Homo-oligomer: A and B are copies of this chain.
């Protein structure tokens, strides 16, 4: 089954302009077209886009996602590199989680003071 850009846009909640942008940037090098140039997304394309979103949402730049795609295109000789890239990104995500935890702690601390008294005026920020 193949899907129009509008369908994919609704299913993944990505603006059409973003889908075209990703294609333009080389993230979808295998995307098929009709004879007249209309994009035809396959289930495989959609799965890939889901991974793209996951990587993007966790802070991987488009450029790096593209590198990953290029490695995929290059074939099975690059599988070690691709795994390494994902492991790196995983470490990155774990780092982000730590950071969020530390920040949450700080905010909870501020909120605690806030609830006690009307602290948090200008002297203490």
Contact = CB atoms under 8 A, between A and B. Distances in A.
Interface residues of A, number: 45
Contacts of A79: 114, 118, 120-121
A30 B86 CA distance: 45
Interface string A71-91: 011011001001100110110
Interface of A: 30, 44, 47-48, 50-51, 54-55, 57-58, 69, 72-73, 75-76, 79, 82-83, 86-87, 89-90, 93-94, 96-97, 99-100, 102-104, 106-108, 110-111, 114-115, 118, 120-125
Q: Lowest 5 A-B CB distances belong to which pairs?
A: A48-B125, A54-B103, A58-B103, A79-B118, A83-B114
